[in-house]
Amino acid sequence: MLPGVSSIPSSARQLQDALDKTVPRTFSLRDTEGSPVPKTYVQHRIDGMQEIFFIANSDRNRSHNYEFILFGGADTPIAVWNPVDGSRERIEPLAADGDARYRFTLHPSGSLLLVTGQGAADGAASASRPADLSQGKVTPLGVNWNFCRSEENVLVMDRISASIDGGKTWWPEDMEWRVRRRLAEHFGTEESLQWQPWVAIRKGIMNGRGGDIILRYTFASAVNRPKSAYLVIEDIQKGRVSVNGTNIETVGAGWHWDRGFGKVKITNLVEKGINTIDFSVNFNFLTLVEPAYIVGDFGVCLQTPYNGVLSSEPEMLKNGSWQEQGYPFYSGRMIYSTEVDIPADEKKRFLRLLRPSGILYKIQVNGETAGNLLWRPWEVELTSFLKPGRNKLSIEVVSSRQNTLGPLHEREGDDNIWCGPNSFYEESVLRDELSLFDYGLLGGAELVVL
């Protein structure tokens, strides 16, 4: 080792201590005991006379308590800026030894935008202290909810059989990504699977190759005639479709989700039992061997870990996942509603969602928007929106397209925080069984009275 050079162990605490001795710090972000907080990221920027700190708790499961110290900043304006609505709140930090100290909590995946310096708090109201709901009286809102969905329900069909001889013989049913690969192997175009279509064209991979194929999708129905049913296939107008032996016109088909997804009505062709859909198309560099979908007014029951069955819809939704209640592949919005009786008093009332699962929750009271919840804590005050007597409360749960468009077969399920092209076709990360995400009011909701 060179004279005067020391080696530092690679622990977070010892590296931080060594840096503190080398470079004077202008601020500190630790827990309330003075220790570094795991899974915390800080972006620090200086803009003229202001310093901007974006602090994020990347822990998806735990809240963390923090103490922010601005060294020598006892007289420096400090404010929390809300990037969602542009509002600001002035912080009155504890001043000690010439430093400014501010304590706060970040819930799982929570963040804070803290700004210090000249003009940071101009015109900002003093920060309000969050209500302590732990001292409130809790009233559960029950298990059953009236509900309505924003769009058609979905059945995904991603197990396919194929024929390359006009329907004389059929390959065994398999996952769509395996059928796609087997077709490419049959026509000698495996190399095209690793390129975008325009690259395959330039390379001439498909020149003189390809041919007519039939893709067969099957689904079961426990109802003879659903209220409505539509078949959705990407580029449906490029091929011919038959449902249970009846040909369907695809020219001028409508679309669903995206103009690339063609949509044709098949309500009167759906039979109780097994239904067969044949899609005849010419296999070339633009042919999409992908899942097909049935959308409409029906329920879906997961008959096996691999596929679903059309069924009747429930009359009410319960607390818990949509998966077990007729909507395993549904990817729209679901509006839960109930009625609550409120006495004539001056107490404060809050709504708290328990383990909600979605990407946004819109709260309405008597048809008026009371708040939108994007992150923890899943709480909103309803006091000013409630009236004595009976009130209608609705909670709109907005989901994503994950359970419709996938990936639907990842071995690690939602624990896999990365999603790339391999999540749809690489055997090492996939399984045949469905890997669906739970959406809905998993634990229900409750009113908290203070």
Residues 420-448: tens digit of each pLDDT? 888 898 999 999 999 999 999 999 999 99
112 lies in the same domain as 191 = no
H/E element, 230: strand 228-234
Averaged pLDDT, 370-377: 93
- The answer to whether residue 275 is domain-embedded is yes
- The answer to whether residue 91 is domain-embedded is yes
- What pLDDT is stored for residue 252 in this prediction? 86
Q: CA 333 to CA 330: how far, in whole Å?
A: 9
110 lies in the same domain as 143 = no
270 lies in the same domain as 361 = no
pLDDT one-digit tens code per residue, 101-143: 999 999 999 999 999 999 999 999 888 888 888 889 999 999 9
435 lies in the same domain as 320 = yes
pLDDT band at 213 (very low <50, low <70, confident <90, very high): very high
- The answer to whether residue 299 is domain-embedded is no
H/E element, 448: strand 445-449
Averaged pLDDT, 19-36: 86
Please check the confidence at residue 16 and state whether its pLDDT lies above 80: no
Report the domain count for the chain.
3
315 lies in the same domain as 401 = yes
Residues near 390 by beta carbon (within 8 Å), at least 6 away in sequence: 339, 340, 341, 342
CATH of the domain at 425: 2.60.120.260
Domain boundary among the residues 243, 262, 290 is at 290
- Per DSSP, 199 falls in state H
pLDDT band at 49 (very low <50, low <70, confident <90, very high): very high
Task: Write out the residue range of the structural domain in which residue 358 sits.
Answer: 138-151+310-449
142 lies in the same domain as 163 = no
Q: CA 289 to CA 164: how far, in whole Å?
A: 14
Domain boundary among the residues 258, 290, 322 is at 290
374 lies in the same domain as 396 = yes
pLDDT band at 2 (very low <50, low <70, confident <90, very high): low
- The answer to whether residue 382 is domain-embedded is yes
Please check the confidence at residue 285 and state whether its pLDDT lies above 80: no
How many contiguous H segments (helices) and E segments (strands) does the chain have? 5, 35
pLDDT band at 210 (very low <50, low <70, confident <90, very high): confident
Averaged pLDDT, 88-108: 91
pLDDT band at 4 (very low <50, low <70, confident <90, very high): low
165 lies in the same domain as 91 = no
Q: What does the buried/exposed string (b/e) look like for 312-334 if buried means 16 or more CB atoms within 10 Å of the residue's CB?
A: ebeeebbbbbbbebbbbbbbbbb
262 lies in the same domain as 235 = yes
322 lies in the same domain as 434 = yes
Q: CA 78 to CA 175: how far, in whole Å?
A: 57
178 lies in the same domain as 249 = yes
101 lies in the same domain as 166 = no
Q: Whole-prediction pTM value?
A: 0.87
Domain boundary among the residues 259, 290, 321 is at 290
CATH of the domain at 207: 2.60.120
Averaged pLDDT, 242-251: 94
Please check the confidence at residue 266 and state whether its pLDDT lies above 60: yes
- What pLDDT is stored for residue 441 in this prediction? 97
Q: Which amino acid appears at position 228 of this protein? A: S
- The answer to whether residue 298 is domain-embedded is no
- What pLDDT is stored for residue 50 in this prediction? 95
Averaged pLDDT, 243-272: 95
Averaged pLDDT, 255-273: 95
- The answer to whether residue 2 is domain-embedded is no
pLDDT one-digit tens code per residue, 376-425: 899 999 999 999 999 999 999 999 999 999 999 999 887 777 888 888 98
Tell me how many degrees the CA angle 327-328-334 measures, rounded to the nearest 5.
40
For the CA atoms of 31, 34, 35, 40, the dihedral, rounded to the nearest 10 degrees, stands at 40
pLDDT band at 5 (very low <50, low <70, confident <90, very high): low
Residue 358's closest CA among 343, 378, 338? Answer: 378
Please check the confidence at residue 186 and state whether its pLDDT lies above 80: yes
- The answer to whether residue 302 is domain-embedded is no
Q: CA 163 to CA 212: how far, in whole Å?
A: 9
